[in-house]
C-alpha cells in the first residue's frame, strides 16, 4: 500500500514525461519542412482529392489487374523531319510568339458572346498533343456550355470556395491574395460561354477491365494545360487558371466522370468583357529567370 502511494506520483510524472516527449516529436515531424505559417496544415493549397494514392490502394486491396505495357506489340519507329526555318526567320517567329504569349493575362471578367464550338474543339485537340508519361495521354477535357450545368458548377465552386477563403486557406494565404482582389464569388462561371474542366486520370481503365499505370500523370496533364493556354491565346480567347480547392469530387459526380479522374484545373473560356480589368502585374526580366551556363 505504502509502496503504491509512493509509486503513483512517480508513475504519473513518468507518464507526463512520455506524453510531453511524444507531443514534441510529432511537432518536430510536422515542421521538418520548415516554418509553417498555416497553423499546422503545411500545404493548404494541395487539394486532398489530388493525392495520387489510388494505385497503391488498389494494389494493396489486390483489386483489379494491371496491364503490363511490355506485353504490347512493338511500336513502329518512323523517320522524322521538321520544316526548318533560316535563323532570321527563327528569330522573328520566336519574337512574335513571345509577344503573343506576353499579352496573355488571367482574366476574370467575360463577355457572354458565343464562341464557335469548333474553335474550342481545336484548342482541346491542341492540348491533346502534349507529351505524356509512356504516351498514356492521361487527360480528359470536359467542355461545358449548357447554362444549367455551368450554373450548377458555379454553385458547387462558390460553396466550397467560401469555406476555403473563410477557413481552409488560413489568414496568411488570404492576405497574400488580397492585392489580386479575388474572393469566392465566381460570376464568370455563369457568364463565360464555355467551362473547360481538365481532369487527370490517375490510372487508365482498359476495355478488358484491366488498369493501366499512368506515369507522371499530373505533370503530363499540367503540360497539356500549358499548351491549352497557349492555344486559347492564339485563338484570341481568355481564361483564368482556376484550381478550385476541394471541389473535385462534387464536380466529378456532377459531370459523371469516373473515379480515376481527378479535377486539376477549371478554365472559364470566352472573350474578355468590354470593361474587363486585370491587376497591373509585371513579369520578371529574363536575367531573373534565366541561368545560362
Ligand atoms: N482558388 C481561389 C483562390 C486563389 C488562389 C490563388 I494561389 C490565386 O493565385 C488566385 C486565387 C480563387 O480562385 O479565388
- The per-residue pLDDT for 31 is 42
**In terms of Cα–Cα distance, which of 240, 260, 122, 246 is closest to 199?**
260
Task: Please tell me the distance between residue 20's alpha carbon and the centre of ligand 1 in angstroms.
Answer: 38
Domains of the chain, CATH where assigned: 98-272 (3.40.109.10)
204: which strand partners? 212
Task: Please tell me the distance between residue 207's alpha carbon and the centre of ligand 1 in angstroms.
Answer: 38
Contact indicator for 261, 252 with CB cutoff of 8 Å: yes
The three-state secondary structure class of 48 is: helix
**In terms of Cα–Cα distance, which of 97, 116, 127 is closest to 228?**
127
Kindly report, residue by residue over 197-209, the tens digit of the pLDDT: 999 999 999 999 9
Q: Which atom of ligand 1 is nearest to the CA of 242?
A: 13
Average pLDDT over residues 145-166: 97
Q: Which atom of ligand 1 is nearest to the CA of 45?
A: 7
**Cα–Cα distances in Å, from 161 out to 34, 249, 279?**
27, 14, 21
Q: To test ligand 1's pocket by mutation, which of 174, 243, 247 has the most ligand atoms within 8 angstroms of CB?
A: 243
- Chain center to CA of 80: 33
- Least confident segment among 18-32, 38-52, 59-73, 137-151: 18-32
In angstroms and rounded to an integer, the radius of gyration of the C-alpha atoms of the chain is 25
Task: Please tell me the distance between residue 55's alpha carbon and the centre of ligand 1 in angstroms.
Answer: 29
Q: Looking at the predicted structure, is the pLDDT value of residue 54 above 70?
A: no
Instruction: Count Cβ neighbours within 10 Å for each residue of 106-123 and write b for 16 or more, e otherwise.
Output: ebbbbbeeebeeebbeeb
For the CA atoms of 77, 79, 80, 81, the dihedral, rounded to the nearest 10 degrees, stands at: 180
Contact indicator for 190, 163 with CB cutoff of 8 Å: no
Contact indicator for 139, 288 with CB cutoff of 8 Å: no
Does the CB atom of residue 177 touch ligand 1 within 6 A? yes
- The per-residue pLDDT for 62 is 46
Kindly report, residue by residue over 4-52, the tens digit of the pLDDT: 565 677 666 776 567 766 665 655 444 444 456 665 678 888 888 887 6
**Cα–Cα distances in Å, from 13 out to 16, 17, 22, 37, 213?**
5, 6, 14, 33, 52
Whose C-alpha lies nearest to ligand 1, atom 11? Answer: 182
pTM: 0.85
Does the CB atom of residue 91 touch ligand 1 within 6 A? no
Cα–Cα distance measured from residue 214 to residue 211, given in angstroms and rounded to the nearest whole number: 9
239: which strand partners? 106
Kindly report, residue by residue over 265-287, the tens digit of the pLDDT: 999 999 999 999 999 999 999 99
Amino acid at each position: 500500500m505504502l509502496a503504491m502511494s509512493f509509486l503513483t506520483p512517480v508513475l504519473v510524472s513518468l507518464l507526463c514525461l512520455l506524453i510531453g516527449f511524444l507531443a514534441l516529436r510529432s511537432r518536430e515531424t510536422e515542421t521538418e519542412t520548415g516554418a509553417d505559417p498555416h497553423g499546422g496544415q503545411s500545404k493548404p493549397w494541395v487539394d486532398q482529392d489530388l493525392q495520387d494514392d489510388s494505385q497503391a490502394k488498389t494494389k494493396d486491396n489486390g483489386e483489379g489487374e494491371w496491364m503490363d505495357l511490355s506485353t504490347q506489340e512493338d511500336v513502329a519507329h518512323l523517320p522524322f523531319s521538321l520544316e526548318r526555318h533560316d535563323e532570321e526567320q527563327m528569330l522573328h517567329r520566336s519574337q512574335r510568339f513571345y509577344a503573343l504569349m506576353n499579352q496573355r493575362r488571367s482574366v476574370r471578367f467575360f463577355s457572354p458572346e458565343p464562341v464557335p464550338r469548333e474553335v474550342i474543339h481545336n484548342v482541346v485537340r491542341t492540348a491533346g498533343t502534349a507529351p505524356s508519361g509512356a504516351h498514356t495521354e492521361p487527360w480528359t477535357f470536359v467542355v461545358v456550355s449548357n447554362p444549367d450545368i455551368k450554373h450548377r458548377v458555379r454553385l458547387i465552386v462558390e460553396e466550397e470556395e467560401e469555406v476555403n477563403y473563410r477557413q481552409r486557406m488560413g489568414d496568411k494565404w488570404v492576405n497574400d491574395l488580397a492585392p489580386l482582389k479575388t474572393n469566392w464569388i465566381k460570376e464568370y462561371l455563369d457568364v463565360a460561354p464555355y467551362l473547360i474542366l481538365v481532369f487527370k486520370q490517375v490510372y487508365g481503365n482498359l476495355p478488358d477491365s484491366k488498369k493501366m499505370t499512368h506515369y507522371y500523370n499530373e505533370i503530363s496533364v499540367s503540360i497539356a494545360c500549358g499548351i491549352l493556354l497557349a492555344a486559347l491565346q492564339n485563338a484570341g480567347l481568355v481564361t483564368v487558371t482556376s484550381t478550385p480547392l476541394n471541389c473535385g469530387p462534387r464536380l466529378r459526380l456532377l459531370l459523371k466522370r469516373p473515379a480515376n479522374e481527378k479535377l486539376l484545373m477549371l478554365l472559364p473560356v470566352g472573350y474578355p468583357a468590354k470593361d474587363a480589368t486585370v491587376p497591373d502585374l509585371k513579369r520578371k526580366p529574363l536575367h531573373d529567370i534565366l541561368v545560362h551556363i
